[in-house]
Amino acid sequence: MDIIETIKDQIEKNTILLYMKGSPNAPQCGFSAKAAQAVMGCGEKFAFVDILQNPEIRANLPKYANWPTFPQLWVAGELVGGSDIMLEMFEKGELQALIKEAASKANA
């Protein structure tokens, strides 16, 4: 499986997926830390991929997503955006609604 297929597979199999530097409990950059906090604050289980441990994903995901930076949040197969977008949505209550709806559909 080539790396683009791997990325597609990860996005398809995980309703809520955060591509980040490090892990939610040990983020390796401030943007990833804020993004993980926002997603954790939504109260649903989510998957993550540490792009520092996956250099091929780090190199190819920006091309696939047409989004140049990390972290990247994917919900129900759609790119939500990076940490600024996530935080703005979280503050408005939009991120919680989006994630809860996607999680409930996935668990239905």
Per residue in 19-30, pLDDT (tens digit) is 999 999 999 999
| Measured distance CA(61)–CA(107) in Å, rounded | 27
For residue 108, being part of any structural domain is answered with: no
**Average of pLDDT values for 60-82?**
97
Cβ atoms of 5 and 61 closer than 8 Å: no
The model carries a pTM of 0.96
Please work out, in degrees rounded to the nearest 5, the angle formed at the alpha carbon of residue 65 by the alpha carbons of 69 and 101: 100
| Measured distance CA(103)–CA(32) in Å, rounded | 21
Cβ atoms of 75 and 98 closer than 8 Å: yes
The whole domain housing 87 covers 3-103
70 is in an annotated binding site: yes
For residue range 29-38, what is the model confidence (pLDDT) as tens digits? 999 999 999 9
CATH number of residue 40's parent domain: 3.40.30.10
83 is in an annotated binding site: yes
